[in-house]
Structure 1
Amino acid sequence: MGQAKSGQKLPYSFMDTKGMSAKEAGAAWAENIGVMFDTKYHELPSEGFHAHAGGYILGELIIGTGKSVAQNFDRSRYRIGRDGLTHYLLQYYQRGSCGRRDGGSGDRTRPGDLFITDLAQPLATAASDFTNLNLIVPRRLLAPLLQRPDEHNTRIVRGNNPLVELFLNHLQSLFRMAPAMTQDEVGLLIQPTLQLAAAALNGTADEQTQAGVDIGLFDEVCRHVNDHLLHPDLSAEQVASRFGMSRRKLYYLFEKVGGFVSYVQERRLHRVRMILLDPAHAHRTIMDIAEEHGFLHRPGFIAAFRRLYGLTPGEMRALAMRRDTEAIESGDHVEWRNWIARLR
């Protein structure tokens, strides 16, 4: 995998053992994971097994997924001295478990937990059949943000910790959006990702990490808003109460996207637009759709729609009926603008 140039899509690497024999699959996985660990399988299925690993380069970070059968992972002092890797590996276990081989049953991850490996230190761990999401971070980038940078090896941070939940949701969003991002866009994400990771590992947000936590919190609020757009009681008061923050804090989070009320209106208008473009809803009146999304005043609705998309709702629907996709797609920049604006 080479480094991406400005404006290019992110480099991506993927390994999949589908269709391989058990011996071939085991060798392919061992070669892939052997960059960091020595591995030993508990027991390979005789009929073969499906394992995969892949990741995107995000500047100096790597984000990827892994899936494999139960095995041991080892990193000896000799191995550390030989390869010189000092990165942190942050693993979100979506399925299966992992923990130190000398630990008890309570010292293993559960689905949703975060497992931390400090590649500068030895380890001997065991994992069941698993699926995980991984972030590899150079030590020199993350350690300055950590309160005790040398005390995280083989740590398990439970997923019910709010800061961990924010971080893991951020990772999932980052991985989901990686195929569409360029290296230029990734540059805006590195520091917030590091700050949110550090807050999750430290168990608290401080002056160095608060900005990243705010971004994670912004994502959570946006997810809640998008899931409840049609609820009549969706308001700043309701959302602030739901997330245990003041309205002042809520308004602060949404300043860079024009404010909370503006964001909710844009999301509702976006939903209206998508319905207007859908032939399955061609029998519905425009105001019926608008009222369903909380727009009860016709002139105000039409004016807001035109400001956002440069067309009236009727013109948008007419273009869709004529399949004039070049014109109607001109409003697709709104989602990307909202997502990226908070990182400036």
Structure 2
Amino acid sequence: MTALSHPTPRSSVTPVFAQSFSTKDIPPQDQFDAWRALLADTIDLLPTIEASDSFAAEFSSWTFGNIVLTRTLYANAPARRWRHRPRSFLDHWCVVLARSHAPRNGSPSREATRQESLSFRSLALPFEGQAEDTEVLTLFLPRDFCREELEDFDQAHDLDINPQLGALLAGYIDNLARQLPHIPPAQAQGLATATRALVAACIAPRAERSEAADASLSSLLIDRARLVVRQNMASPEFGPEQLARLMAMSRSKLYRLFESTGGVAHFINRERLREAYRRLSSHRDSPSIHIIGNEVGFVDHSTFSRAFRREFGHSPSEARERSLTKLSATPLDVRPPETGPVDAEHEA
């Protein structure tokens, strides 16, 4: 795992500030030195390759509130060794999610299995490591992000994280990397507050933190479930059992997550219908209503129409007619209408 440099704070018109860097346009013989200079604020990257070898890497970072998330992609997973810089001016905690893709029994890389690990460290404390990760996501939090229990976090430096809590935190960090480029400014500070609470609950869990973190944990799991459903909704057979398997959750835990909002099957059906609404309203030349129904997992047209009317109060053809009317007048907001508590609470 690799902790990357913390970008120097800058003033910005919006609370979400992005940076990027790549070695691809740098001569191969200079790529390692350029990458080492990028990381110099936080770690000392030790030479492990010949001076003439290339070192292909891409770096992105997003600042929201007083938190920074960085994402690094390595091509061909070059081996790396590093150590924390003593007396670094960045007295921050970092949560590091590192991934590597290992070929399965000598199979081609496209069939590789994904391995990942999660760690928690203080940049101000000694640490040395080595890895060949292909992707690294690092969440940087200021030293005083949880002032009341600094001692708890000092003791957590480089210790194993509870596997269940670690899986939730890893999923949250992964979701952040996908969503931060699209987060509106008004939501950035609230997202930083929720992130601090979730890290505290997962790294140094205490009973009094559980309530503060519950909303973030539930939101994370529902966001993950929504992504899995959207990736698989074209299959009419996709249901609660498949969703539980792909999320690596027990069916009982998955059912508890959606118990208060109509159940897992209702959630899957709603996501199918919301996607159908979006496609019906997206543009004038979208496919026929029958094809759109098939694309979101409805084999029978009449079943699709009845479910659509129950969800939105009008038929698919009426939804298309309304969208065409709006398109002729103003740019269309293609989001489907809010239809229940799941969407009101968890829609990004």
Residue 250 of structure 1 aligns with which residue? 258
Structure 2 residue 94 is matched with structure 1 residue 93: no
TM-score between both structures, scaled by the size of structure 2: 0.71
Q: CA offsets, 1:254-311, max 9 Å, x none?
A: 4xxx98777545422212224435746327378878981787385663253247xxxx
Corresponding residue for residue 111 of structure 2: none
1:324 and 2:327 equivalent? yes
Root-mean-square deviation (Å): 4.1
Distance 1:170 1:326, change over 3 A: farther
1:72 equivalent to 2:72? Answer no
Select 1:46's aligned residue among 52, 58, 64: 52
The corresponding residue for 1:150 is 154
Partner of 2:188: 186
Question: Partners in 2 of 1:328 and 1:315 — Cα distance?
Answer: 18
Show the counterpart of 2:116.
112
> Larger deviation: 24-33 or 42-51?
42-51
Counterpart code for 2:316: P
* Structure 2 residue corresponding to 1:269, chosen from 234, 249, 273: 273
Q: Which runs of 5+ in 2 are unaligned?
A: 1-8, 103-113
> After the TM superposition, which residues 168-179 of structure 1 pair with which residues of structure 2 at under 5 Å, given as runs?
168-179=170-181
1:105 is matched with none
* Deviation for aligned residue 1:233: 7.9
1:207 corresponds to: 208
Please list every run of 5 or more consecutive structure 1 residues that lacks an aligned counterpart in the other structure: 98-109
Tell me what 2:105 maps to.
none
The aligned residue for residue 142 of structure 2 is 138
Distance 1:269 1:326 in 2: 25
Aligned to 2:33: 27
**In 2: Cα distance, 1:71 partner to 1:292 partner:** 49
Counterpart amino acid of residue 140 in structure 2:
I
Question: Which of 285, 302, 305 is matched with 2:309 structurally?
Answer: 302
| Counterpart-to-counterpart distance in 2, 1:213 and 1:205 | 15
SS of 1:120's equivalent?
A: coil
Paired with 2:221 and 2:93, the residues of 1 have a C-alpha distance of 24
Shift of 1:19: 2.5
Residue matched to 1:106 = none
Q: CA deviation at 1:22?
A: 3.5
| Distance (Å, rounded) in 1 between the aligned partners of 2:20 and 2:335 | 30
Q: Distance in 2 between matches of 1:95 and 1:233?
A: 29
- Amino acid corresponding to residue 11 of structure 2 in structure 1: Q
Give me the whole-angstrom Cα distance separating, in 2, the residues matched to 1:143 and 1:339: 34
Separation in 2, partners of 1:173, 1:164: 14
Alignment check: 8 A CA contact 1:319 1:328 kept:
no
Aligned to 1:107: none
Shift of 1:250: 3.1
Alpha-carbon spacing, 1:206–1:293, altered in 2? closer, same or farther (3 Å): farther
Q: Distance in 2 between matches of 1:56 and 1:190?
A: 12
Stretch of structure 1 that moved more, 10-19 or 149-158: 149-158
Change (3 A) 1:145 1:317: farther
2:275 partner SS: helix
CA distance in structure 2 between the aligned counterparts of 1:150 and 1:15, rounded to whole angstroms: 32
Instruction: Label 1:301 to 1:131 Cα distance change in 2 as closer, same or farther (>3 A).
Output: closer
Output the CA distance in 2 between the equivalents of 1:243 and 1:207: 28
Match of 1:2 among 7, 10, 25: 10
Identity %: 17
Alpha-carbon contact 1:75-1:122 (below 8 Å) kept: yes
Contact kept? 2:226, 2:271, Cα under 8 Å: no
SS at match of 1:284: helix
Instruction: Kindly provide the amino acid, as one letter, of the partner of residue 273 in structure 2.
Output: L
CA–CA distance in structure 2, aligned partners of residues 117 and 290 of structure 1: 43
Give the whole-Å Cα distance in 2 for the aligned partners of 1:235 and 1:289: 19
Q: Does the 8 Å CA contact 1:87/1:119 hold for their aligned counterparts?
A: yes
How far apart in 2 are the matches of 1:267 and 1:198? 32
Distance change (3 Å), C-alpha of 1:176 and 1:300: closer
The 2-side partners of 1:282 and 1:39 are apart by 56
Per-residue CA shift, 1:146-171, capped at 9, x if unaligned? Answer: 7831123333548xx23222211211
Change (3 A) 1:48 1:227: closer
In the alignment, the residues of structure 1 paired with residue 157 and residue 297 of structure 2 have an alpha-carbon distance, to the nearest angstrom, of 54
TM-score, normalization: structure 1? 0.72
1:315 to 313, 318, 334: 318
Distance 1:330 1:22, change over 3 A: closer
Structure 2 distance, partners of 1:127, 1:157, is 19
Q: Contact 1:51 / 1:67 at 8 angstroms: preserved in 2?
A: yes
1:9: how far off? 6.5
Residue by residue over 1:86-139, the C-alpha shift from the partner in whole angstroms, topping out at 9 and shown as x without a partner, is 211111111279xxxxxxxxxxxx931112221121222223354211110112
In the alignment, the residues of structure 2 paired with residue 180 and residue 37 of structure 1 have an alpha-carbon distance, to the nearest angstrom, of: 30
Partner secondary structure for residue 99 of structure 2: strand
Q: Structure 2 vs 1, CA of residues 94 and 313 (structure 1 numbering), >3 Å: closer, same or farther? A: same
Report if the CA contact (8 A) 1:15-1:52 is conserved: yes
